[in-house]
Amino acid sequence: MKPAAQLTHLDARNRPAMVDVGGKAVTRRTAHAVATVALPPALARLVTGNEIQSKKGPLFQTAILAGIMGAKQTSGLIPLCHPLPLDDCRIAIEAGPPGSDGAADVAIHCHVSVAARTGVEMEALTGATIAALTLYDMGKAVSHGIVIKEIRLLEKTGGKKAYRAVR
């Protein structure tokens, strides 16, 4: 029988611990995460030219800025994450076509890269998540029926293990 996978953020006494990455080589590392947000019909109707204008400002552009800011602050939000000086963080928001019920899905893609000793998966996931939460916050004036359906890692490169999600 194969032994259970070991959690890397626990020390020998099973206490929380930051992973020591001091012995790892600095390599280029990238990650791509996506958040899928379902817009109810009342909000989906407001999408024009892949943007929603509101009294609070442009929803998608504000969500992009918030997501980038969130990615940069990941280590302050997740206790055992290493602080990373991101080389790049790009967020793109794509609104899908409305369905027969008038609702539409929005895909929020966050691509992050760094030259470091540890990966940037958490930064990509955080960026996509904060952008989705910002979209919810700004859109709730129209409808509380917004649903953040899924947040997941699609790909990571660099380090020991590359990952690509099956789509």
**One of 11, 88, 101, 137 is an active-site residue; which one?**
137
Classify residue 20 as exposed, middle or buried by CB count within 10 Å of its CB (0-12, 13-18, 19+): exposed
| Residue 88 falls in the annotated catalytic set | no
Beta strands in the chain (DSSP E): 27-39, 53-54, 57-58, 88-95, 104-116, 147-157, 163-164
Report the alpha-carbon distance of residue 113 to residue 159 in Å, rounded. 12
Specify the length of the chain in residues. Answer: 167
List residues with catalytic annotation.
137
